Structure 1
Amino acid sequence: MLLQAAVFSLGTVGALAHAVVKTPTPRKPGALSEELCGAAVSTVLNRDLAGPIENAVKVADADYNCNAYVCRGYQYEDNEASLHTYQAGDVVDFHIDLVAGHRPGYANVSVIDPANNVVLGSPLKTWEEWPINSTNPIQDDVDFNITIPESLASICTEGGKCAIQWYWYAIGGPQTYESCVDFVIGA
């Protein structure tokens, strides 16, 4: 029992993990996300940073006042120090930590307005089936890049207005996984 408590406190729950963005630095949980999402939802989300959002939503109680399906409920205000600055046309490398790909589905990378839960423009990358091979994914499943769109140069000028969202929907569960990378397009 002591070992389980130690593993839980370190956030290392590998058997439950599925997939999460590792590079660039994504949004992480913080005090505001815990306040808005409530302790029950936050505990589940924080226990497995790569776990499906549905596991957290099913324990939602009266304290749940966030949208866990937007950046896992993680708030920009908790992550201002991780704001990335890019230029239009920059190529951004991503690495996904695929811990368990036992339920294929589809995936995409889009720029979103997290405050309004709106996709800005077209997806930057899509996979009709992700991961293609769950036991040995092709490199493009876990290491890929996207290009920062010129069309968003006048929109993504202030922290919190735009986030690059990696989204995977595993059909067999169904299970939803996402990570958000906050960014601005600099001058």
Structure 2
Amino acid sequence: MKSYSAISLAAMASTVAAHGYIRSPAPRMPGDAMKAACGQQIFNTFNSDINGNMQGALQNPGPDFDAAKCNIWTCKGMQFEDNTANVQAWTAGEKVPMVVNIAAPHTGVANVSIIDTADSSVIGEPLISWDVYASTARGTQANETNFEITIPSDLGGKCAEAGACALQWWWDSREVDQTYEGCIDFTVGGSGAAPAPVASSSAAAAPAASSSAAAPVASASAPVTSSVAAEPAATTTAAAAASSAAPSSAAPQPTTLATSARPAPSTGADSGAVSGAVAKYGQCGGKEYKGATSCADGWTCKEQNPYYSQCISP
């Protein structure tokens, strides 16, 4: 992957400030494919400040920005083709340590999910989530920057080919209207190389390119800040730092925050839409959204931004 250091004056003047990104495992980074898909200005913005948010970048996207090709609300527009050398090979049930850099806290919600890169949908439930993340009131907690996730055992062959899936860290702060993302490419029980084209008589399932300049919706959903307790799940009130991960630059602070881990696969009903209803934390609305709009189990569909509404606890 080519490394870029030249930064345009427009990018230097951008309103995007450093806030956060994945440190390890190796995340997606900007490159030629991103520049071709997202345009020079978006590329310059994130090449100069990988920690920035999408809303700030979209204030000045540049004349060659193509919303459909860039898909900025998935993996921050970072493209798989620039990151084929960083594909991780994991196994079902493997515990993966993660380290995230929070350069400037903004109170919000966050999760880490597996996404299907063909349509930006979340596969299953979030692997870990926070109802309160990077709080400006109490400061960033140790288990928000050093933690581990467990690779699900129910993926089947969905993530066997490199580029088919990505692990996406997603942090949204409504108090400043800023969203941050980062992705890690991986395979589970498959090849570490990009899949070769296969002739098919059926049409490709990828979404059609849109002529609208509006960005696609964020794909990795997270619970929103709420006074209602989080859904029952495996919880911990201690800082869940992974032993093999790099130590945090700040000493761990005590916290009473409950961090939810992904429940074990169930033999019951599928976790997706049920009888036309959207599952908890799933997308239920937004510009150009064409899916179900009713939430399961009496949950409420709440608008997070013009492009994304989400099923949350009532």
Alpha-carbon distance change, 113 to 134 in structure 1, aligned in 2, over 3 angstroms: farther
Q: TM-score, normalised by structure 2?
A: 0.53
Structure 2 equivalent of residue 106 of structure 1: 109
Shift of 1:59: 1.4
Letter in 2 for 1:64: F
Do the aligned residues in 1 keep the contact of 2:30 with 2:78 (CA within 8 Å)? yes
1:96 aligns with 2:100: yes
Structure 2: distance between partners of 1:167 and 1:28: 16
1:106-129 CA distance string (max 9 Å, x none) = 000000012311101110011011
Structure 2: distance between partners of 1:134 and 1:46: 30
Shift of 1:61: 3.6
* Runs of 4+ with >3 A deviation: 6-9, 132-136
Letter in 2 for 1:26: P
Secondary structure in 2 matching 1:129: strand
Structure 2: distance between partners of 1:177 and 1:114: 17
Equivalent of 1:147, from 142, 147, 150?
150
**The structure with more helix, counted as a fraction of residues:** 1
Structure 2 equivalent of residue 77 of structure 1: 81
Structure 2 equivalent of residue 181 of structure 1: 184
Structure 1: distance between partners of 2:148 and 2:156: 19
Decide which structure has the larger Cα Rg and report it. Answer: 2
Equivalent of 2:168, from 165, 170, 182?
165
Do the aligned residues in 2 keep the contact of 1:100 with 1:134 (CA within 8 Å)? no
Structure 2: distance between partners of 1:106 and 1:41: 25
Alignment of 1:1-187 (within 5 A): 16-65=17-66, 66-101=70-105, 103-132=106-135, 136-186=139-189
Letter in 1 for 2:82: D
Percent identity over paired residues:
36
Unaligned runs of 5+ in 1: 1-5, 10-14
Judge which range, 176-185 or 111-120, deviates more.
Answer: 111-120
Do the aligned residues in 1 keep the contact of 2:116 with 2:122 (CA within 8 Å)? yes
Do the aligned residues in 1 keep the contact of 2:7 with 2:44 (CA within 8 Å)? no
Structure 2: distance between partners of 1:34 and 1:114: 18
Alpha-carbon distance change, 60 to 93 in structure 1, aligned in 2, over 3 angstroms: same
1:13-63 CA distance string (max 9 Å, x none) = xx9210100011100001010011001111112221011111111212442
Structure 2: distance between partners of 1:180 and 1:167: 9
Unaligned runs of 5+ in 2: 9-15, 191-314
Shift of 1:137: 1.9
Q: TM-score, normalised by structure 1?
A: 0.88
Do the aligned residues in 2 keep the contact of 1:42 with 1:56 (CA within 8 Å)? no
Structure 2: distance between partners of 1:67 and 1:99: 25
Structure 2: distance between partners of 1:150 and 1:64: 38
Structure 2: distance between partners of 1:133 and 1:139: 14
